Chains A and B, each alone.
Chain A
Amino acid sequence: MASSDKVGIAACAASRLGINTHLQMTSPAPIYPHRHLLGIEGLSHLDIEALLDRADTYVALSRQVEKKTATLRGRTQINLFFEPSTRTQASFELAGKRLGADVMNMSVASSSVKKGETLIDTAATLNAMRPDILVVRHHAAGAVNLLARKVDCSVVNAGDGAHEHPTQALLDALTIRRNKGRIAGLTVAICGDIVHSRVARSNIILLNALGAKVRLIAPSTLLPPGIERMGVSIFTDMNKGLEGADIVMMLRLQLERMHGAFVPSSKEYFRYFGLDRDKLDRAQPDALVMHPGPMNRGVEISSEVADGAQSLIREQVEMGVAVRMAVLDALAQHLPNG
């Protein structure tokens, strides 16, 4: 592992200096030991760091004019989205194409799922087309795990219900690491609709694995029961929760998932849990602000903060493509003849 760590660190340093790290990618990268990426749960901190190191090299590659590699040439990647998504699907598509894969997008609106075909049938049908990698988003927790058991190819979870969204957590970690130089020891405050958030769950697991101190800030109705046993401290007062935070990670208030009165109004929510200049001033002076998008401006975050100097929101999108390239690359090493 020592030599591979050096490769990672070298690549990381090189990319910050803007040096072309393309050649270094051919050196033996640590083997990602799993066939799928279904969640952050089950990954070791070494697995995670190896993916982040690999992603660093892809950040550099994506900033070049020539962005394509032949890593996935001849491979077929299907993006199977049972839930509408613009940015995640685009990010995976771009990542696959930059690696040279043939990428096909299938979304629920144009598929036979609406005609009563079950998830398993869809999986069997797609499996028969012999894809190499399936990228799946589904509205039900566990659906991607279920699907992964029924197909022969590698599966990437692009978000399943309120369970996990591993590539989002990885891109968040990459963004933090590149800006703060480390993750261990940082205080990260995750704020907002935790109960419906797969992003929060994946981030809690990942940040704990890499040694960050994780705080959750939300009204109690938006906190899942028992979450305090996942290695987090809980705050229902945002001002207190933000004190001394290095990273403020805002979550989208999932208005479309509000199956009941979790909060009375977006006005009241913004008053107590929306991130504005005053609340951000409670955090460290060099605190950085993140959001997985899409944002509800004026609900969970003010435009002043979202577009301000401390915001990393645009950079997160860039890191997303690099992280997904790293994940697809890592999984490809397990493909037959890969």
Chain B
Amino acid sequence: MALVEPGMAELQDIELQDIEIVNARLVDPATGRDGRGSILIRAGAIADVNWGEAAPSGGEGVRRIDARGLVLAPGLVDLRAFLGEPGAEFRETLSTGSQAAAAGGVTTVVCRPDTDPPIDDPAIIDFIKRRARDKAIVNVLPSAALTKGLRGKEITEFGLLLEAGAVAFGDGARALRNPQVMRRAMIYGRDFDALIMNHVEDPDLRGSGVMNEGEFASRRGLPGIPLEAETIMLERDIRLARATGVRYHAAMISCAESVELVRRAKAEGVRVTCGVSINNLTLNENDVGDYRTFCKVSPPLRHEDERLAMVAALAEGVIDVVVSDHDPQDVETKRQPFAEAADGALGIETLLPAALRMVQAGQIELAPLLAALSTRPAALLGLACGRLATGAPADLMLLDPDAPHVVDKRKLKSRAKNSPFDEARLEGLVQVTFVGGRVVYEAQAS
């Protein structure tokens, strides 16, 4: 089904021609509105949003795309993805990672700073921005390390990094262990209105743990990671955030106890937000099965009760954002005994189809789900995208929410192939992705 009749190449030739997408099901997660309508794109931005069956507003020279009733919604904003550069180009590059993003309807990606060298210096922010401009087909925004060299001891140059273009601070997959350093980072970060993120998993309590602690881990003979590894560090961070007044974001939570901590903190007015990985929303510890290392992630896949608590907290709005936690891993680091394999799973291309499982199961409506995938992460970063509003950037996706497909890891666009959703039957496929009014991805007619 070729939606964009002339084909992608020709469309790109005509560059920033005005585009009118008609006959769409518009879903605006910023307002929760969901209905028929059309959108006019001019100069890379949304120029008009027409709800209802109103006549097209475009004039001469406007390219019309008939959406045939598909969902037209803001492109997704992914707060957490590892994009390989610099230093791990064998796992992912800005080019391959952004193609995977575009195919998943993700139009803005915040890349993790725990690269080699880490993104802890304004020059590396500059490097990422220039490489992304030349190589990436979606918006790539760098997050910066919270501490120099990710060593957890000295804070980075928040002011200079923000000026260079950093959008948030955190040490990536490493938790900031030292409470005094975190306290200083928060006190100093507040002066810059910096967004401080942490991977809430206490390394000491994790110990040698490799999967969720409990019956399943015990049966498999694998050392477990207790829930307290997450809740204790989260509670510490929340107390420090309350005391300092900084904007704090727990990168990913994975259990019901953590939801309660966040809920309580929000009720008390602490400026805390939190995310959840698509893995913890759609998979549970049983997916580890016979030692499947593609299901080895951090935070670990939890018990089904915890997964259901995550879904409920997302629907309720206690969890603010959903992230892909995209972490491409080389085959050699995954083809190992479970305890010795690396953490991490591909996620960005399957993020939306996997998340749609919750819509199909009746656990959440489409608009609130998309809010957690676009509007709210955009708002956390102060971006204008994530909504269908005049003047917002034309970062959009056309989605067939019911298209059935079987995930084939060989066809995913990432350089690595460690998808926990390989061979999964999912419904929902992005048909066209627009970034700044340009078509950057169009699904192949099947």
What mask results when residues 168 to 209 of chain A are scored 1 for a CB within 8 Å of chain B, else 0? 000000000000000000000000000000100100000000
CB atoms of A201 and B219 under 8 A apart: yes
Chain A: residues with Cβ within 8 Å of the partner, total of: 26
Chain B min CB distance to A194 (Å): 9
Q: Is B360 an interface residue (CB 8 A)?
A: no
CB atoms of B218 and A141 under 8 A apart: no
Q: Is A227 an interface residue (CB 8 A)?
A: yes
Q: Using Cβ atoms and an 8 Å threshold, which residues of chain A touch B31? A: none
Chain B min CB distance to A223 (Å): 9
* A-B interface contact total, Cβ < 8 Å: 75
Q: Is A230 an interface residue (CB 8 A)?
A: yes
Q: Using Cβ atoms and an 8 Å threshold, which residues of chain A touch B221? A: 141-142, 160-164, 198, 201
* Secondary structure of the B contact surface, majority rule: loop
**Contact partner, B214, options A140, A146, A198, A226, Cβ 8 Å:** A226
CB atoms of B215 and A226 under 8 A apart: yes
A30 CA to B141 CA, complexed, in Å: 65
Q: Is A62 an interface residue (CB 8 A)?
A: no
CB atoms of B335 and A118 under 8 A apart: yes
A143 CA to B340 CA, complexed, in Å: 10
What mask results when residues 203 to 214 of chain B are scored 1 for a CB within 8 Å of chain A, else 0? 000011000011
CB atoms of B291 and A142 under 8 A apart: yes
CB atoms of B214 and A119 under 8 A apart: no
Q: Using Cβ atoms and an 8 Å threshold, which residues of chain B touch A118? A: 332, 335-336
Q: Is A264 an interface residue (CB 8 A)?
A: no
Q: Is B290 an interface residue (CB 8 A)?
A: yes
Q: Using Cβ atoms and an 8 Å threshold, which residues of chain A touch B226? A: 225
Q: Using Cβ atoms and an 8 Å threshold, which residues of chain B touch A160? A: 221
- Considering the complex, which residues of chain B in the window 311-338 have a beta carbon less than 8 Å from any beta carbon of chain A? 332, 335-338
Q: Using Cβ atoms and an 8 Å threshold, which residues of chain A touch B222? A: 141-142, 161-163
Chain A residue at smallest Cβ distance from B339: A140
Find the residue from A141, A142, A143, A162 having the highest chain B CB count within 10 A.
A142
A141 CA to B218 CA, complexed, in Å: 11
**Contact partner, A141, options B207, B216, B336, B337, Cβ 8 Å:** B337
A225 CA to B223 CA, complexed, in Å: 10
Q: Is B220 an interface residue (CB 8 A)?
A: yes
CB atoms of B337 and A260 under 8 A apart: no
A260 CA to B208 CA, complexed, in Å: 10
A20 CA to B335 CA, complexed, in Å: 48
Q: Is A213 an interface residue (CB 8 A)?
A: no
CB atoms of B207 and A260 under 8 A apart: yes
Q: Is B224 an interface residue (CB 8 A)?
A: yes
A138 CA to B221 CA, complexed, in Å: 13
Contacts A118-B336, A259-B207 hold; do A225 and B214 have CB atoms under 8 A apart? yes
Chain B min CB distance to A59 (Å): 30
Chain B min CB distance to A205 (Å): 9
A120 CA to B418 CA, complexed, in Å: 17
CB atoms of B339 and A161 under 8 A apart: yes
CB atoms of A226 and B216 under 8 A apart: yes
Q: Using Cβ atoms and an 8 Å threshold, which residues of chain B touch A201? A: 219, 221
Chain A min CB distance to B12 (Å): 43
A51 CA to B320 CA, complexed, in Å: 56
**Contact partner, B218, options A138, A164, A226, Cβ 8 Å:** A226
A118 CA to B336 CA, complexed, in Å: 8
CB atoms of B208 and A259 under 8 A apart: yes
What mask results when residues 132 to 168 of chain A are scored 1 for a CB within 8 Å of chain B, else 0? 0000001011110110000000000000111110000
List 11 other contacts, CB 8 Å, given A119-B336, A162-B223, A225-B214: A119-B337, A141-B222, A146-B336, A160-B221, A164-B221, A198-B221, A225-B213, A225-B217, A226-B214, A230-B219, A259-B207
Taking Cβ atoms with an 8 Å cutoff, the residues of B that contact A are 207-208, 213-224, 226, 290-291, 332, 335-340
Smallest CB-CB A-B distances: 10 pairs:
A226-B215, A163-B221, A142-B291, A140-B337, A224-B218, A162-B221, A143-B337, A141-B221, A226-B214, A142-B338
